[in-house]
Structure 1
Amino acid sequence: MNHPFRKHPPQGAYDLWVTQRWIDLDGLVNMRDIGGLPTAGGGRTQFGRLIRSDNLQDLTQDDVRRLVDDLGVTDIVDLRADRELRLEGPGPMREVSTVTHHHHSLLRERTDESSEHVAQRALGTTPRRTRGADFWARNYLGYLENRPDSVSGALSAITGASGTTVVHCAAGKDRTGTVVAMALDVAGVPHAEIAADYALTQERLAAIIERLSRRPSYGEALATQTLADQTPHADSALAILTALADGWGGAAGWLREQGWSEQEVGQLRDRLTAP
């Protein structure tokens, strides 16, 4: 999964060096491009089409410029819950008129729950739960069961983007990982590669937790968590991919059940793979 230094020009000027697919900005810690992954038939996913990230609340003005001008970001898909958005407030990218924002919460919205409980559901920190690979896999399958509209909507936004799309939640790990895994499955990336990409977040986990712990929305929910509690396991990604394969023949079949046409599925695949 390691890739050498390289420079990739997508639709616009992509003049940031990408080291092993990580994109380092001052205001976040878990951003990477999904380009360069192998696909069935010998192809690869394209750079500059889809970027996964933790939340964008702390971006500097230079970060914003680099995302828009250098990376060609035109669309942002925010997977956080309504309460998270209200507590965190609008991020700097909301001020950019050329960027389209898509909000597709992967959590069931509850008007009667506390902010702490929203954060616990968002980060998977509900008390007295064992957090192995099976726990996270059940969490991710819950997104498909409880918010199929949002999962489908997020993937539709990626399909229709004119430039680079950034998909993010709070940590850029669970909700983001689920949507990205499904997109990569549609693109024909082998399951082992998708799982390895998902687990790559381990490299930045300590920084992710430290960053979120400073924010009032998430600090209390993370206070009793260890790195082991929050570690992304490749087996979790493999479990959801296997469930998709067994139940629908893959993510593409799941999308068809949500009303996607064969043409729309092909457009998502082409969006991520076509030169």
Structure 2
Amino acid sequence: MTSTRTDRWLHLDGTTNTRDLGGLPTVDGGETVFGRVLRSDNLQTLSEADVATLVDEVGLTEVIDLRTTAEVLMEGRSPLRDVDSVTHRHFTLLPERGRRTDVFAAEEDDEELLAELPADWVESLLPRQVAAGDEGEPPAVRSYLGYLTDGTDNVLAALRTLAAGGPGAAVVHCAAGKDRTGVVCALALAVAGVEPEAIIADYAQTAEVIDALVAKLRTHPTYAEDMTRRDVASHTPQAGSMRRVLELLDERWGGPIGWLEQHGFDADERAALRARLRD
């Protein structure tokens, strides 16, 4: 993957929504570099060819998983977990329920562990979080602000992993690769100096594959109910949702950088994250 590449989509057998964060314009006239950070939906259905593409061609060395412990336990491990050169980190942005939170300390096929999950844990997989004072915002905006309120430490941890990693590529993912992944990637791109409209466009780009993405998730019992209870349009990311989140960050914190600064993501960390996406 070179700096001259213009197609940001990475077409794999086992994912629907994998793309590179390279090639995005920055406010100083530059652009982000290809082959540094990818964003994606679930990785557990990757084929052998997909693994070879990611590891040998892209140079993947890190997976940052934003799903809940329950999602990982019920969906199963990614074949990338068997690749010694790839490090996995788990940072859920949603409130955890149950006694176990360190998913990678246990085997996902442990039936005894699965039996320990509360009966209503499946229902809590994709909650619509509402931060105090945000009740009047659209549902997606409320959820995204909820990640920043309830998942602050793990949002920062995910960004710190990106900042400290390399020289290989990292992939940030959740279930669909649009909401939780979208918020973390938006903050990373803001640190890299990407133009706000390009951040918004990257978020909304998932709409290009939303039909196939929803169809795929409907085949997984973990997500089937949520995928069928609402129509495809309600799952489709709207540019206005991310635009509103950025507006609120501007109003309340002086922008994404202000939010990060005031939550302890310091100048050295921001410089390292910027360098990973830019230099």
Q: Shorter-chain TM-score category?
A: 0.7 to 0.9
Question: Equivalent residue for 2:256?
Answer: 251
Cα separation, 1, equivalents of 2:68 and 2:194: 29
Question: Equivalent residue for 2:273?
Answer: 268
- Dislocated runs of 4+, deviation >6 Å: none
Amino acid at match of 1:85: V
Question: Equivalent residue for 1:15?
Answer: none
Aligned pairs (5 A) from 1:66-77: 66-77=53-64
Question: Equivalent residue for 2:240?
Answer: 235
1:151 to 150, 155, 175: 155
Range with greater deviation from structure 2 (38-47 or 218-227):
218-227
Amino acid at match of 1:229: S
1:119 to 125, 130, 133: 125
Cα separation, 2, equivalents of 1:241 and 1:81: 25
TM-score by length of 2: 0.86
Shift of 1:113: 6.1
Question: Equivalent residue for 2:106?
Answer: none
Cα separation, 2, equivalents of 1:84 and 1:108: 12
Cα separation, 2, equivalents of 1:224 and 1:149: 31
SS of the equivalent of 2:35 reads coil
1:170-227 per-residue CA deviation (whole Å, 9 max, x = no partner) reads: 0001000010011111111111111111111001001111111111211122222211
Shift of 1:246: 1.9
Number of aligned residue pairs: give it. Answer: 253
Shift of 1:116: 3.2
Question: Equivalent residue for 1:14?
Answer: none
SS of the equivalent of 2:222 reads coil
Question: Equivalent residue for 1:88?
Answer: 75
Cα separation, 1, equivalents of 2:71 and 2:77: 11
Cα separation, 2, equivalents of 1:35 and 1:245: 25
Question: Equivalent residue for 1:8?
Answer: 2
Aligned pairs (5 A) from 1:112-191: 112=118, 114-121=120-127, 134-162=138-166, 163-191=168-196
Q: Is the 8 A contact 1:29 1:204 kept in 2?
A: yes
SS of the equivalent of 1:56 reads coil
Q: Is the 8 A contact 1:133 1:233 kept in 2?
A: no
2:91 to 82, 87, 104: 104
Shift of 1:258: 2.1
Question: Equivalent residue for 1:193?
Answer: 198
Shift of 1:118: 2.5
1:29 to 8, 13, 16: 16
SS of the equivalent of 2:122 reads helix
Amino acid at match of 1:247: R
Cα separation, 1, equivalents of 2:173 and 2:137: 21
1:91-146 per-residue CA deviation (whole Å, 9 max, x = no partner) reads: 1111011011110001011225624312342xx59xxxxxx982101110000000
Cα separation, 2, equivalents of 1:139 and 1:19: 32
The 1:249/1:44 distance shift into structure 2, 3 A limit, reads same
Cα separation, 1, equivalents of 2:55 and 2:3: 14
Structure 2 gaps, min length 5? 99-117, 130-135
Cα separation, 2, equivalents of 1:244 and 1:36: 25
Q: Is the 8 A contact 1:119 1:221 kept in 2?
A: no
Cα separation, 1, equivalents of 2:251 and 2:61: 35
